[in-house]
Amino acid sequence: MVELIPLFMFGAVCLVLLFGYPVAYSLAGTALLFAGIGIVTDTFASAFLHALPSRIYGILTNQTLMAVPLFVLMGTLLEKSKVAENLLNSMALLFGRLRGGLGISVTLVGMLLAASTGIVGATVVTMGLLSLPTMLKRGYSPSLATGSICATGTLGQIIPPSIALVLLGDVLSSAYQQAQINMGLFSPETVSVGDLFVGALIPGLLLVLCYVVYICLVAWLKPTSAPALTANDLEVESERRVSFIGSLVPPLLLILAVLGSILAGIATPTEAAGVGAMGALLLALSQKQLSKEKLREVVISTTQITCMVFLILIGAALFSLVFRGFGGDDLVHGVFEDMPGGVWGATLIVMLVIFFLGFILDFIEITFVVVPIVAPVLLTLGLDPVWLGIMIAINLQTSFLTPPFGFSLFYLRGVAPESVKTVEIYKGVTPFILIQLCMLFVLALWPGLITWLPGLLSR
């Protein structure tokens, strides 16, 4: 009974979240309640609670997370100065009367942004700020708009360079060595972060392609949910060719510059967010779109979004600490101990557990809790480490999208206008979840889609 407490905790926090009090306090408060009961009934290792300040300090000093406020600042600047809206409108114009043109533009811009950072909070929020208002204005159904934004924003996790893959690569590389030493191989093969980056390329691009195809399909079957530009729009817009180029080129250059500064070795991915924000500020100023009043709005709104993201991280830290104090990791361990059905059964169970943990625990937590336990076992059974890494990453990405709880959903809800109903977001992401699940299935059938490119490059 006692060993099942972590399970009750999971259930209880889901219930508390549904009451609608802010997510951060619901996570932390529920955990605390359980810790209190645990201390009174002597079923909880209360010493673990002393780790809370260290955990918070870890979040304060995590340099990677500095990308969040800067990336969000870039997004808010581009939105409030109307640069984003003009960019997306111009891109949609490129697609002319093709229905869904705006949706495709958003997905492509999202892909570029996703390449620039791997922090889910940063990409989902930025995408939401950049494109949601324009899509709604253009008559897109809130479901399609929020669904495609959420899905594209979460892509940042697997399109390299991605922090998530780096963390996973670290843990997998150690697990792979461990697995080979267990098998008696003392000059083990290695797997590097670079291998994971290369392995993620084809699946990442395939996902983008699937999203685009899906948007076209919806636009074709249900024109009202993704309207094309009207003849009138086209006329008005094409009369302004100059402004067309003017609104298309600079922001695209900016986004490319962010990515380019990483690839050219000018900035690290975290610093690139700062470069992007600075660029957005200059762009907004040069287009005379930024009054002091607007700048005030920008910094205040960015500050609030940043606080929203970080308080969730702090709440999740307390939750996972108590989850551990009750032996939640033992419970996870136990599930894996008697894994049935050989390598495929084992992989399926691992994927399912990771999927459910992804509702509440964040990427870092899962990478550190689950992967070190399961990876050596699975790799000893003969799985390819790059394949396993990418499958875990896509699986988590799917989990973050899955209603009713998931980090991407929390973050998008946080920046979506009040008029968009949460249920509409849930409806909107469902097809994208199905696409991702299909992709996982395809990658399981044809692992070569992941392993071919890294194999080719290492030769």
Q: Which residues contact 48 (CB under 8 A, 6 or more apart)?
A: 321, 322, 324, 325
Q: Which is nearer to another protein, 92 or 379 (CB)?
A: 379
From the list another protein, Na ion, none, which binds 57 (C-beta under 5 to 8 Å, kind-based)? another protein
- Per-residue binding string, Na ion, 81-120, x by CB under 5 A, is -------------------------------------x--
Instruction: Report the distance separating Cα 285 and Cα 290, nearest Å.
Output: 6
Stretch that binds another protein, among 130-138, 218-226, 264-272, 439-447 (CB under 8 A): 264-272
- Helical segments of 21-82, H only: 23-40, 52-60, 67-80
CB of 65 to Na ion, least distance (A): 15
Assess contact for 366 and 396: CB atoms under 8 A: yes
Q: Is 284 within 8 Å of 77 (Cβ atoms)?
A: yes
Q: How far is the CB of 69 from another protein (least distance, A)?
A: 6
Cα dihedral 46, 50, 51, 53, rounded to 10, equals 140
Total binding residues for Na ion by CB under 5 A? 4
Nearest distance, CB of residue 52 and another protein, angstroms: 5
Q: Does 318 bind another protein (CB under 8 A)?
A: yes
What does each C-alpha distance from 425 to 92, 173, 429 come to in angstroms? 23, 37, 6
How many residues line the site for another protein (CB under 8 A)?
110
Indicate the SS3 state at residue 22. coil
Q: Which does 266 bind (CB under 5 to 8 A by kind): Na ion, another protein, none?
A: another protein
Q: Are 67 and 34 in contact (CB under 8 A)?
A: no
> Which of the 8 DSSP states describes residue 429?
H
| 162 near Na ion, judged by CB under 5 A | yes
- Give, as ranges, the residues between 122 and 161 that touch another protein (CB under 8 A): 161
| 260 belongs to the binding site for another protein (CB under 8 A) | no
Q: CA 107 to CA 110: how far, in whole Å?
A: 5
441 binds, among another protein, Na ion, none (CB under 5 to 8 A by kind): none
389 binds Na ion (CB under 5 A): no
- The per-residue DSSP string of 365-426 comes to HHHHHTHHHHHHHHHHTT--HHHHHHHHHHHHHHHHHSSS--HHHHHHHHHS-TTS-HHHHH
User: Site map for another protein, 208-247, x if CB under 8 A?
Assistant: ----------------------------------------
Residues in 340-369 that interact with another protein by CB under 8 A: 364, 368-369
- Separation between Cα atoms, residue 268 and residue 443, nearest integer Å: 30
Stretch that binds Na ion, among 65-73, 154-162, 283-291, 361-369 (CB under 5 A): 154-162
> Hey, which residues between 382 and 401 contact another protein (CB under 8 A)?
none
Site string for another protein, 43-72 (x = CB under 8 A): ----xxxxxxxxxxxx-xxxxxxx--xx--
Q: What is the C-alpha to C-alpha distance for residues 5 and 39, in angstroms, rounded to an integer? A: 13
Residues 167-196 that bind another protein (CB under 8 A): 167, 169-171, 173-175, 177-178, 186-187, 190-195
Would you count residue 258 as binding Na ion (CB under 5 A)?
Answer: no
Instruction: Say whether residue 28 binds another protein (CB under 8 A).
Output: yes
* Structure-block tokens of residue 294: 């607007």
| Alpha-helical regions (H) of 222-268 | 231-238, 241-263
**Sole window of 104-112, 204-212, 314-322, 354-362 interacting with another protein (rule: CB under 8 A):** 314-322
Interface contacts to Na ion, rule CB under 5 A:
118, 156, 159, 162
